[in-house]
Copies of this chain bind each other. A is one copy, B any other.
Amino acid sequence: MSLDEDLDEARAVSGAGPGLRRARAWLSRAVEPGTIDFWRYVEDAGPVDAVRRLRSGQAPASIRSLVGARAGEDATLADLARAERCGARLLVPEDDEWPALPLQALALAVCDEPIERREQSDRTKALVPPLALWVRGPARLDELVDRSVAIVGSRASTAYGEHVAAELGHQLGERGWTVVSGGAYGIDAAAHRGALAAEAPTLAVLACGVDRPYPAAHGALFHRIAETGLLVSEWPPGCAPLRHRFLVRNRLIAALTRGTVVVEAAARSGAQATARRAQDLGRQVLVVPGPVTSAMSVGCHELLRDEELRAVLVSSAAHIIQAVGRIGDDLAPPLVGPSSPRDGLSDVALRVLDACPVRTGVSPDRLAAVAGCDVLDVLRVLPALELADLVEWTGTGWRLRPPAGKGGRGAAA
């Protein structure tokens, strides 16, 4: 069936059918990820209509210019077939498996533009959700990232850094936490290998197609990762690991996980950039120190010296879990006696909760103003409040979740 016929059919049915999946596949090749205006256009028009309008020349000129000559091309069937051949599949936001909650921080960042517009237009720094994800491996992405931590660091790592990354990966894996990293040389590989040694699934977010993971020397490692965990990429099969794609990719590593652990980083390094993306998204930044005599720890110490970043020094998996774990789940409850969902909430979380309106949802900016805290703090605590069933996203804003029995979720959405 042609793409256009599939799209026509997709308009008639709802859900993630083949037409919608082909539309998302087409979009994932049409424009480089990390383009805010394009993501917004797809959100507004819906993926199927977005593709139809782009292919028929009806989309706004600014959006058409992003796609260019690729508007007339269609590699969707080839891409989907190529994915299938390597055991991969296309995951779309309409799927149940889509990690909606972790990626919500990216959607919020786009909606609220807390970052300067200049930065947003820099795709390597833009905080924008993926349009689709190509995933290879047996695990469910949403389940894998539910309790996950990113471990990132230098490719030119030292024996010390690799030892620590492997040890942390192993300990986290043993305790049921998913290690997410980029599959690169050095710290990334050591962290993945540590998790695999604990027979825990691990997740590599790639900057190229999942059928040709980079670096090639890690072929055996990627094969092992794909046996129990997942290889994930925004780029369709066959795409090359272009330099800027690593930077665009970093936001996903930060967004998918509850916290980012930096093990070794040189001054002004990519690992530092990932840590700052994590902070932008309200995620915990966790840093392993090292000898002050090591150039590979300079970036780590810079992160720990940055007061605004509020990075936490960690030297063990226990420290990491303490920082990112959930009360009652990973951590001992701080209170005894009759429990309420409010128990164990931080001061900031309580203030944000009290700032949430009952009916009409409001933006995190508004919550920050009412709660008297930073918008980043709001973004940091909202996921926990939602998980505790205390607040809900109406589609346009956040509000208190009505108690069970007094009207269901989404009644006003």
A positions within 8 Å CB-CB of B:
160, 163-164, 288-293, 297-298, 301, 304-305, 312-316, 319
Give the complex CA separation of A61 and B220 in angstroms.
Answer: 82
Q: Contacting A292 at CB < 8 Å: which of B293, B304, B316?
A: B316
Residue of B whose beta carbon sits closest to that of A316: B292
Q: In the complex, are the beta carbons of A305 and B301 less than 8 A apart?
A: no
Q: In the complex, are the beta carbons of B291 and A160 less than 8 A apart?
A: yes
Q: In the complex, are the beta carbons of B305 and A163 less than 8 A apart?
A: no
Contact sample, A vs B, 6 pairs, CB 8 Å cutoff: A289-B304, A289-B313, A291-B291, A304-B313, A305-B312, A305-B319
Q: How many copies does the complex hold?
A: 2
Chain B residues closer than 8 Å to A316, beta-carbon distance = 292
Q: In the complex, are the beta carbons of A313 and B319 less than 8 A apart?
A: no
Interface of A is mostly: mixed
Give the complex CA separation of A297 and B316 in angstroms.
Answer: 13
Q: In the complex, are the beta carbons of A315 and B288 less than 8 A apart?
A: no
Q: Contacting A301 at CB < 8 Å: which of B160, B289, B301?
A: B289
Give the complex CA separation of A298 and B316 in angstroms.
Answer: 11
A-B residue pairs, 3 tightest by C-beta: A289-B289, A292-B315, A304-B313
Give the complex CA separation of A14 and B220 in angstroms.
Answer: 86
Q: In the complex, are the beta carbons of B290 and A291 less than 8 A apart?
A: yes
Chain B residues closer than 8 Å to A288, beta-carbon distance = 292
Give the complex CA separation of A62 and B331 in angstroms.
Answer: 50
Q: In the complex, are the beta carbons of A164 and B293 less than 8 A apart?
A: yes
Residue of B whose beta carbon sits closest to that of A167: B293
Chain B residues closer than 8 Å to A163, beta-carbon distance = 293
Chain B residues closer than 8 Å to A314, beta-carbon distance = 305
Give the complex CA separation of A297 and B298 in angstroms.
Answer: 17
Chain B residues closer than 8 Å to A319, beta-carbon distance = 305
Give the complex CA separation of A386 and B103 in angstroms.
Answer: 52
Q: In the complex, are the beta carbons of B313 and A160 less than 8 A apart?
A: no
Chain B residues closer than 8 Å to A289, beta-carbon distance = 289-290, 292, 297, 301, 304, 313
Q: Contacting A160 at CB < 8 Å: which of B293, B298, B305?
A: B293
Q: In the complex, are the beta carbons of A313 and B293 less than 8 A apart?
A: no
Residue of B whose beta carbon sits closest to that of A294: B291
Residue of B whose beta carbon sits closest to that of A311: B313
Smallest distance from the beta carbon of A17 to chain B beta carbons, Å? 50
Smallest distance from the beta carbon of A373 to chain B beta carbons, Å? 17
